[in-house]
Structure 1
Amino acid sequence: MRRRRSLASQLLVWQLVVVMCLLFAVGALTVVQTGRNFRSNEERRMLSVAENVAATNVVQTQMGNRDLLAPAAETARGLSGATYVLIVDLQRRVLTSPDPAQVGSTLDTRTTAFDGKAWVGTAGDSIEAHVPVFDEETRKVNGIVVAGAREPGIWEGALDQPVDALRYLLIALVIGVTGSLLLARRVKNQTLGLEPHEITALVENREALLHGIKEGVVGLDAQDRITLVNDHARDLLALPGNAVGQSVEQLELNDRLRDVLTGRATGVDQLVLRQGVVLTLNRMPIEGAGAVVTMRDRTELLALQHELDASQHATDTLRAQAHEFANRLHTIAGLISLKEYDEVSNYIHQISSAQDQWRAEVSSSIGDPAVAALLIAKASLAAERGTTLRMGPDSVLGRVDEALSADLVMVLGNLVDNALDALSSLNGAQKWIEVGVVQMDDEVQVVVRDSGPGVAPELAEEVFRHGFTTKAASHGERGIGLALIRRACLRRGGSVSVSGSVFTARLPW
């Protein structure tokens, strides 16, 4: 495999490239500026040379005499440093020139000097000045003087001083090498000694790891802005595509989720409800850098737990009924042993009347079989715990559809269980639970009240938001069932609230 270059060598190469580009740019600008300055100066100088030659008495009076004109032209050329000085008559014949082969030839350059106007400009690779020669007596144009200087090449100016150019190049190279080495050392310290290809591989591995795991991962900086989020977390939290870079407070999240993401709610396996999905979140702070939050979907597990709780409640109800029947049988057996046959008859009649009365009361008010069966079963469980379960005076419910019936069973079951848990801490006090189910035109209203202490006013909202992690018997707080009740009510467009020991749920239908 081809050996990879180190970070220092790569920075050195790029620094040298940058330095050379800068030198080239500066050199090009210098050459352009030097050329402009040279042309401006040479134009003025050539014009002055041509004017001086054209103003001499010999040139003005002896235009046709080459022997007298040549010395004047050469003297001016030698003194001024011009490349050539030409004297041309009105027929455009060259009378004097440093090049003997050019003498007698025709000047083919267009110029305004023959019209009496001086001209300065570029002719080929030279800068020329054309000045008319006026006859001393008639003051008419009888010829022109051409003074020219060859324009140097692009690099001639730089090559005139090779030592300075080499010195500047060496200084630039030393600065570039030193700067690249210092920069490479600083960058390497900041990247923990990793080379660029190692950093690239590390980022690729991180991306593959983040998007490959089944857990959701969210990275936050010290200001609670999202720095990274994998696909699973984006789906679980229903985050928008531009969530990265935004603050948690700017996103449309519920208060409970914000508290967990920002660290205001601490603890392991924090439970949060997000758009009908139950999530378990764990937040790990990173010193000075923010935090990393991992999350898992617990909706299915919670549903299984709820089904298990329902089975457990049914088992408890059957156990309570069996226990109640066993006590009654023991009582009947004892009365028979004592030959108190009349008391046996009265006792059986009393028991049968009480059960028949509760069944009749439930059946007359509740027309849905599932809800009626639940209330009849809960009465046995309440009796075992020394609690009286009674119906509200205005209770009335007809047969409803299966979906609403299932929601009513879940709401009533959880509210009665929470009330039983709340009353379990009362000793020696009269304990009762009143259940009211009222069917209206567009909704069913469920009201459950008990003789317990109730929920503190400051916890009226908290019991629904933090109900996942609290236990019903602890300081009047309720359990996970309240969160399920709230979700069922909100799904139907209803609501659930608590005031003291009275819970009210509204389920539209």
Structure 2
Amino acid sequence: MRRRFSLAGQLLLSQLGIVLAVVVAVGAVSLAEADAAFRTDEGRRLRSVAENLAAESTVRAGITDPLWYDALAARAESARAVAGATYVVIGDRAGVLVTGPGAGRPADLGDSDVLRGRAWVGVLDDGARRLVAHVPVLAESNGEIVGFVVVGLTYPTFAGQLANATPGLLVYLTLGLVLGVAGSLLLARRVKRQTLGLEPTEITGLVEHREAMLHGIKEGVIGTDAADRVTLANDEAVRLLGLPPDAVGRPLTELGLADGVFDVLTGRTAGADQVVLRDDRVLVLNRMPVIVRGRDVGSVTTLRDRTELTALRRELDVSRLATDTLRAQAHEFTNRLHTIAGLVELGEYDEVVRYVDGTSRRHESLRDVTSRISDPALAALLVAKASLAAERGVDLRIDPAAAIGPLDEELAADLVTVVGNLVDNAIDAAGPGGWVSVSITDGDGVVIRVRDSGPGVAPAQADEVFRQGFSTKDAAGTRGFGLALTRSICVRRGGSATVDGSAFTAVVPRVRAAAR
């Protein structure tokens, strides 16, 4: 397995690379500046030597007389030795050298205009670079050009220039290395302290595992920081809460969350397994604050979808209620048989007839109503609620005109929930000795009206009563769910749920409205 560098090592290598790049750049600039300085300073010096030599009367007078050439050569050599130049030569007005190794041959004047009376300093390169100065020699009598003086200096090689600049570069390189190493170690310590001592590869592994875990689990997970901004949200959380694609990084206040969801995510509603409604979904939320070094840095909330489980519970409750109803009816039937037997023993035959007729009429009325309810589950629910109401001393009156045609499976399940919640609420409100009336009409939609003899709902609470968590009873945390779910179902299908005093009206369209 290939060994990876630590964070400090990676930072050090980066710093070294930067330092070396800077040193190379500084070296290049230094060499360029040294070259320019060499041309300027040495060129000025060489020109001064040439001008001094050209101004001497011996040179002016002897340059036109071959008998003086030896004397001129000696003077040129003397000037070369004093100036430290590579060579000093003198030429005549025709451009032919009269001194030096090339005497008698044309001089290499390059771009120089020295024969036109202009001094020139520049670089000549004929295989060996040279810095040269050309100065014209003027006659003393009339100032005409009689020749020229050339002073040359061999151009330093690149290696020589580099050798001259090396001491300074080594100082910069050493200083840069020391600062780079110190900076790398300090920066690595700071970064590792902020990353809890983890190396970059470890952080990458953690992030990859976190992403795989978040998007792999079935529960929704949403994280927020101390300012209630979303820091993470997996696919399930986005689906359950209907979050926009750019939810991460945005405050919760901008996401249009339901009040119950918002209160749990912000910590306003505390406690485990908080049940909230989001449209037609029943969600269970658990919020866990995140504390780092004693400081609150945010929270992580898990979300579980309990919609299907809640529907199954409702179906199970209906089945259990039907079972209990049958048991109660069997018990009631036994009691009635005992009553009839007692009346027979007492010889109260007329009373027996009246008792049997009354019992038959009550059952016949209930049977007539349920026969007009085509859905078996809803019919069983009404029968069960009638028995439950009777056990609690409440008179449940079902409108004889109540009737419902065939229902699809989804509508039937929704009606069972709506009717069950409204009737349960009414039985609780009526109390022993009270009454509850139920009216159901069918058309384009099913309209359920439930009234009770209870005190009713104040107009100021007409909307509040449908809010999740609202309850007039103790232990509100476990109540206040049925009416909220009822309105949610009605609104989801494009209907409504309202209250006027003690009368609740729910409109459930047969055709579900298009998803909003």
- TM-score by shorter chain over 0.5: yes
1:241–1:405 Cα change, 3 Å: closer
C-alpha deviations, 1:432-484, integer Å up to 9, x for none?
A: 222233446x54332222223445677655654535x9797757995543344
User: 2:220·2:303 contact (CA, 8 Å) conserved in 1?
Assistant: yes
Alignment of 1:221-236 (within 5 A): 221-236=225-240
Query: Is the 2:88–2:151 contact (alpha carbons within 8 Å) kept by the matching residues of 1?
Result: yes
Equivalence for 1:141: 145
Alignment of 1:123-138 (within 5 A): 123-124=124-125, 125-138=129-142
Deviations 1:343-382 (A, max 9, x none): 111222233334445555787xx67565566545533332
Q: Given residue 318 of structure 1, which amino acid in structure 2 is its aligned partner?
A: L
Deviations 1:146-194 (A, max 9, x none): 3333443445455337655544443333333333333334444444444
Cα pair 2:97 2:105 within 8 Å, conserved: yes
- 1:455 touches 1:477 (CA, 8 Å); kept in 2? no
Residues 418 and 479 of structure 1 are in contact (CA less than 8 Å); yes or no, is this contact kept in structure 2?
Answer: no
Secondary structure, aligned partner of 1:504: strand
d(CA) in 1 for partners of 2:358, 2:266:
61
**Take 1:86 and 1:76, find their aligned partners in 2: how far apart are those partners?**
10
* 8 Å CA contact 2:124, 2:130 repeated in 1: yes
Residue 416 of structure 1 deviates from its aligned partner by: 0.7
Structure 1 residue runs of 5 or longer lacking an equivalent are: none
Q: 2:447 aligns with which of 413, 424, 445?
A: 445
Match of 2:250 among 243, 246, 249: 246
Q: 1:343 aligns with which of 326, 342, 351?
A: 351
1:300 aligns with 2:308: yes
Deviations 1:315-345 (A, max 9, x none): 2332343343333333222211211011111
Cα deviation for residue 280 of structure 1 reads 1.9
Kept in 1: contact 2:273–2:284 (CA 8 A): yes
Mapping of residues 392-471 of structure 1, within 5 Å: 399=405, 401-402=407-408, 403-423=410-430, 426=431, 430-439=433-442, 442-454=444-456, 464-467=466-469
What's the counterpart of residue 110 of structure 1? Answer: 111
Equivalent positions of 1:56-71 (< 5 A) are 56-64=56-64, 65-71=68-74
How far off is 1:292 after superposition?
1.5
Letter in 2 for 1:452: G
Q: 1:117 to 1:280 in 2, by over 3 A?
A: same
Residue from 333, 339, 357 that aligns with 2:341:
333
Closer, same or farther: CA 407–186 of 1 in aligned 2, 3 Å: closer
CA RMSD of aligned residues (A): 3.6
Distance 1:40 1:344 in 2: 139
The answer on whether the counterparts of 2:369 and 2:403 sit within 8 Å (CA) in structure 1 is no
Change (3 A) 1:80 1:422: farther
Q: Hey, what's the Cα distance between the residues in 1 that align with 2:135 and 2:14?
A: 55
Distance 1:149 1:451, change over 3 A: farther
Equivalent pairs: percent with the same residue? 53
For residues 30 and 463 of structure 1, do their structure 2 counterparts lie closer, same or farther at Cα, with a shift above 3 Å needed?
Answer: farther
Shift of 1:75: 4.4
Q: Which moved more, 1:153-162 or 1:212-221?
A: 153-162
- 1:322 aligned partner: 330
Q: 1:126 to 1:279 in 2, by over 3 A?
A: farther
Distance 1:106 1:153, change over 3 A: same
Change (3 A) 1:258 1:78: farther
1:21 aligns to what SS in structure 2?
A: helix
Paired amino acid for 1:84 = Y
Are the aligned partners of 1:421 and 1:472 in contact in 2 as well (CA < 8 Å)?
no
Aligned residues of 1:158 and 1:165 also touching (Cα < 8 A): no
TM-score (norm 1): 0.83
